[in-house]
Amino acid sequence: MDAEIGRVVAQLKAMGAFDNTLILFASDNGASAEIMVRDGGHDPAAEPGSAKSYLCLGPGFSSVCNTPFRRHKTWTHEGGISTPLVAHWPAGITARGELRHTPGHFVDIVPTVLDLAGIERPKDWKGEPVPPAPGKSLVPALAKDVTVPRALLWWLHEDHRAIRVGDWKLVAAAKEPWELYDLRADRGEQTNLAARMPEKVGELSALWQKQTDEFVAAVRKPPAKGKDE
């Protein structure tokens, strides 16, 4: 990865375009707790990093990697969805080495790029209206640490589910009950407020279900047939 990123950066510099190119780099969504070995197994005497030494992190080291967040990749707790994002654009971002705390999502990348390029998203495609994009432009956050307004963030992965509205997050592992956290005061999801605030749980769970139903309906909708089809 370092080598290939280096090739891209070297090419941009050779073109004189490096300073005026926005580079966004995000790590993967949390360390993995999986325990698996290749068909030949794991040889502890083999050189680290070689094929014979292959071994996953497992839950122990995954927890260390994800500290202070809970759970791991696949789950929708913070340990499975939270990832840093680095933005580099010398000609367009005057801030240097600053942190931003506004929540973002990968669905925000396209709206951000379109915003910077001054391009409007198409309103229709082959005669059918294009539904609103789920993401938000992060351009304001490139300038200073501000909150990008959004209605919600929603997750569903292998029956692990979550929704975030403002600083409130409702989350549940597969086949487990909802948990409620105030991320402003408890980013590590240590104090489950679900039993103390059942009304908030009901409000957010209903919103999660509404979003889920809308997503399923959109996925199942048959595509529009163009004249050339």
**pLDDT tens figures, 171-225:** 999 999 999 999 999 999 999 999 999 999 999 999 999 999 988 887 777 655 5
Torsion over CA: 212, 213, 214, 216 (sign): positive
pLDDT score at 72 = 93
Burial class (CB in 10 A: 0-12, 13-18, 19+), 59: middle
- Residue found by looking up tokens 């509404």 in the block: 210
Task: Quote the pTM value.
Answer: 0.84
Q: CA separation (Å) from 146 to 97, 102, 140, 149, 183? A: 16, 6, 7, 9, 17
Q: How many residues does the chain have?
A: 229
pLDDT, mean over the chain: 90
In this predicted model, what pLDDT tens digit does every residue of 108-161 receive, in sequence order?
999 999 999 999 888 888 888 887 778 999 999 999 999 899 999 999 999 999
Burial class (CB in 10 A: 0-12, 13-18, 19+), 76: buried
Q: CA separation (Å) from 163 to 133, 144, 167? A: 17, 26, 10
**98 pLDDT more than 90:** yes
What amino acid is encoded at 145 in this protein? D
pLDDT score at 208 = 97
Percentage above 90 pLDDT, the chain = 66
**89 C-beta neighbours (distance < 10 Å), count:** 16
